[in-house]
Copies of this chain bind each other. A is one copy, B any other.
Amino acid sequence: MSGYIQEDIDPEELAHRSELASSIAGSVRELIDATVRTEVGEADIAEARRLIEAATEILRRDQLPGAYGIRFNSDGTKRSWGNAILGRRNPIAPPVELHHESEFSWTEVELGAAYEGPAGLVHGGVLALILDQLLGSTAEFQGVPGMTGTLSVRYRSATPLGKIRGEARVDRVEGVKTFVTGTISSNGKVSAEAEGIFILPKWARGEVSDVLRKSVGEG
């Protein structure tokens, strides 16, 4: 698969790159919030655009030909820095940080003005995006990794902009399919529920079987 890149970088250099990626994306996230909420007039907009375009030109001096892809280090760690919801280098991503416990996975994230749908509320589709990623990563860490087969979200009540919590757990694994359920809550109240089925892609089935065999062998 193109875009899956094996790239061995020593830990110190990797930490440095990670910090650079987070710092520039963090500055752009602030700018996004300021753009959604700005009330300044034409002259200020023009001046801000000149600065933004100058910054873009600097960043374009050396660019990847396409998207970031997924990169693996020799120690097996995976980098999804360009990911639309997790990516530390992607200013569109809050970014969501996932935590994997033994029985479940969770995240807590602050969603500001850029994630609005209905007035003052988180866009229902943004919650679906977070749930897709959270449930998919739960499948990967606690079941069998896979692409989303189906995702169903039931919205029980409105989710105000601000801090939300997501939680997910594997319900069951059936061969190449992992069934995961999850919730979004806001102020301690569940506002959305989801079910997802994640399916190990055909091209990865040999590879993952190898990994599973090796893990068992090493265990």
Contact = CB atoms under 8 A, between A and B. Distances in A.
Contact of A36 (B39, B70, B89, B117): B89
B47 A27 contact: no
A66 B37 CA distance: 7
What band does the interface of chain A fall in when counting residues whose beta carbon is under 8 Å from B? Answer: 35 or more
A164 to B, nearest CB: 14
Interface string A105-128: 000000011111111100111101
The quantity of this chain's copies bound in the complex is: 2
A147 interface: yes
A58 B68 contact: no
A147 to B, nearest CB: 7
A55 B56 CA distance: 12
Given A20-B42, A32-B92, 16 more contacts: A3-B119, A23-B45, A24-B49, A32-B32, A38-B60, A40-B59, A40-B61, A44-B59, A49-B55, A51-B52, A87-B116, A92-B92, A124-B132, A125-B129, A148-B153, A150-B153
